[in-house]
């Protein structure tokens, strides 16, 4: 996905402007989300899979068909067609500093559900929660995105470690849809709708992902997120059927020679990712 120099220049100017706020009422506002700025979307292609030649055992290439590796995605991806709505619920973890971390740097990770972005790279409809830690300070953000456009924060949607957040994304067409986040622990719900999007969905990928997202043109330092478990993970199709995660492809984050996650599915509706 390439951008012309003119587009990048305009995007850079837009990213430098103060983040606009849209008041949704009840104390909830939308603000443009800096970590997924114009610079980051110009640099990344949704889920950059690593080629099989990148995986070796004692220096010998191996074709591991059990797990696919990505530089920034971990979790489960179901590949099919006609996907309309994806949902899953997580218990918000308490992020920790990874081994050897600097107390003056921010470390982050994100958990989200989405449609497309794996085998379909034209667009992603996604929404989720970030976990951040800097020194002893922990913070959380809730956001939504129709990639490759900007992501936006739900400002005023409070999140704390240990709370349950239900995430749902719904495509009403290939160019329209909605996202809903519900804090099951507080009863608070936020929703945003999209329409007339020029980057169209394929409706062929359903995802439950823990991500090392980008800031600028580089991946953010990955937080030790412990364990993130998506429960009630399911996808409904345009024909009205409901599918679970059985048969989903497992993905783990591999950067350089280091694998940072260990993900798996259990039953038909649970996806678990552990920081290792």
Q: Has residue 4 got a pLDDT over 50? A: no
Tokens of 48: 């950059």
Q: What mean pLDDT is predicted for residues 197-207?
A: 98
Please state, in angstroms and as integers, the Cα–Cα distance from residue 98 to each residue in 102, 106, 252, following that order.
9, 11, 17
Catalytic positions, written as ranges: 211
Q: What mean pLDDT is predicted for residues 237-251?
A: 97
pLDDT band at 151 (very low <50, low <70, confident <90, very high): confident
Short-list 46, 24, 20, 44, CA closest to 33: 20
Taking only the tens place, the pLDDT of each residue in 209-233 is 999 998 877 899 999 999 999 999 9
pLDDT band at 43 (very low <50, low <70, confident <90, very high): very low
Q: What is the pLDDT of residue 41?
A: 32
Q: Has residue 2 got a pLDDT over 70? A: no
How many whole angstroms separate alpha carbon 169 and alpha carbon 144? 9
How many whole angstroms separate alpha carbon 213 and alpha carbon 27? 27
**What pTM does this model have?**
0.81
- Convert the chain into a string of H (helix), E (strand) and C (coil): CCCCHHHHHHHHHHHHCCCCEEEEECCEEEEECHHHCHHHHHHCCCCCECCHHHCEECCEECCCCCEEEECCEEEEEEECCCEEEEEEEEECCCCECCCCCCCCCEEEEEEEEEECCCCCCCCEEEEEEEEEEECCEEEEEEEEEEECCCEEEEECCCCCCCCEEEEEEEEEECCEEEEEEEECCCCEEEEEEECCCCCCCCCCEEEEEEECCEECCEECCECECCEEEEEEEEEEECCCCEECCCCCEEEEEEECCEECEEEEEECCCEEEEEEC
Q: Has residue 202 got a pLDDT over 90? A: yes
Q: Has residue 14 got a pLDDT over 70? A: no
Q: What mean pLDDT is predicted for residues 156-182?
A: 98
Q: Has residue 12 got a pLDDT over 80? A: no
Q: What mean pLDDT is predicted for residues 141-158?
A: 92
How many whole angstroms separate alpha carbon 212 and alpha carbon 182? 23
Strand duo 67-70 + 249-255: pairing: parallel
Q: Has residue 38 got a pLDDT over 90? A: no
Q: 53 or 265: which carries more pLDDT confidence?
A: 265
Q: What mean pLDDT is predicted for residues 248-262?
A: 96
Q: 40 or 195: which carries more pLDDT confidence?
A: 195
How many whole angstroms separate alpha carbon 179 and alpha carbon 197? 14
Q: What is the pLDDT of residue 130?
A: 96
Domains of the chain: 5-275 (2.60.120.700)
């Amino acid at each position: 996905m390439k951008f012309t120099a003119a587009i990048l220049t305009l995007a850079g100017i837009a990213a430098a402007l103060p983040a606009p706020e849209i008041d949704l009422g009840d104390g909830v506002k939308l603000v443009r989300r800096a970590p997924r700025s114009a610079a980051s979307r110009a640099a990344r292609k949704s889920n950059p899979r690593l080629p099989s030649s990148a995986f070796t055992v004692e220096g010998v290439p191996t074709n591991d068909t059990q797990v696919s590796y990505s530089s920034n995605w971990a979790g489960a991806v179901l590949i099919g067609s006609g996907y309309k709505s994806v949902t899953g619920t997580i218990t918000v973890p308490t992020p920790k500093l990874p081994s050897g971390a600097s107390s003056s740097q921010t470390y982050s990770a994100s958990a989200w559900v989405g449609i497309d972005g794996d085998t379909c790279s034209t667009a992603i409809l996604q929404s989720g929660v970030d976990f951040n830690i800097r020194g002893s300070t922990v913070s959380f953000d809730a956001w939504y995105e129709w990639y490759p456009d900007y992501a936006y924060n739900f400002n005023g949607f409070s999140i704390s470690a240990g709370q349950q957040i239900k995430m749902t994304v719904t495509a009403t067409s290939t160019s329209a849809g909605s996202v809903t986040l519900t804090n099951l622990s507080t009863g608070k719900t936020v929703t945003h709708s999209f329409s007339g999007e020029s980057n169209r969905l394929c409706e062929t990928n359903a995802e439950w992902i823990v991500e090392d997202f980008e800031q600028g043109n580089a991946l953010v330092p990955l937080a030790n997120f412990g364990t993130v478990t998506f429960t009630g993970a399911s996808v409904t199709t345009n024909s009205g059927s409901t599918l679970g995660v059985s048969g989903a492809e497992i993905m783990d984050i591999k950067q350089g020679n280091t694998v940072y996650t260990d993900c798996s599915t259990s039953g038909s509706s649970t996806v678990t990712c552990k920081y290792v």
